Amino acid sequence: FIIVPVIISQIARKWLLAKGESALTATLKRLHPISLLALLVTLVLLFGFQGQQILAQPIIIALLAVPILIQVYFNALFAYWLNKKFKVAHCVAGPSALIGASNFFELAVATAIALFGFNSGAALATVVGVLIEVPVMLSIVAIVNRSKDWYAQT
């Protein structure tokens, strides 16, 4: 799930860079809408397979969602605050907070589906993770962007 795409992407990157930096930049611009569409299709498929279980088990979903929500916000905001204390540039602190808070549910979803199938409890747990993590990460981006002035204060 990780090694093959990384190898393929690195080969493609080197091939494009051999044609010049502009070739890589142009290709990335062309692929950007496709990557967003692929994420959307993946989420729709996951929720399509798990939607019934999500609606039928609200208590289980809450038991899965609440700790994820707390953990992601705590880790992101703590990492962001530490970056400020260590005087790390804002352009590094934002991504650092996101990476520090991420649970890499994309990998968890792929693993759960491959090992246990689309309709498994493991797939349900990872889908709940994605359901929570994606909007939370977007809200963290908004917090980081809105707090730029606060971050700049020493």
Give per-residue pLDDT as tens, 56-73: 989 998 999 999 999 999
Spatial distance between the Cα atoms of 134 and 98, rounded to a whole number of angstroms: 11
Q: Residue 136 pLDDT more than 60?
A: yes
Cα distances (angstroms) measured from residue 66 to each of 26, 34, 60, 76, 112: 41, 32, 10, 16, 21
**H helix runs in 86-120, sequence order:** 90-101, 105-116
Q: How far, rounded to the nearest angstrom, does the alpha carbon of residue 124 sit from its chain's CA centroid?
A: 17
Amino acid of residue 96: S
Which of 115, 105, 102, 128 has the alpha carbon at shortest distance from 49?
128
Half-sphere exposure of 17 (CA within 13 A, CB side): 6
Give per-residue pLDDT as tens, 24-58: 999 999 988 887 788 778 778 777 877 888 889 89
The pLDDT, as a whole number, for residue 1 is 56
Give per-residue pLDDT as tens, 84-133: 999 999 999 999 999 988 888 778 888 888 889 878 888 888 888 888 88
Spatial distance between the Cα atoms of 137 and 111, rounded to a whole number of angstroms: 21
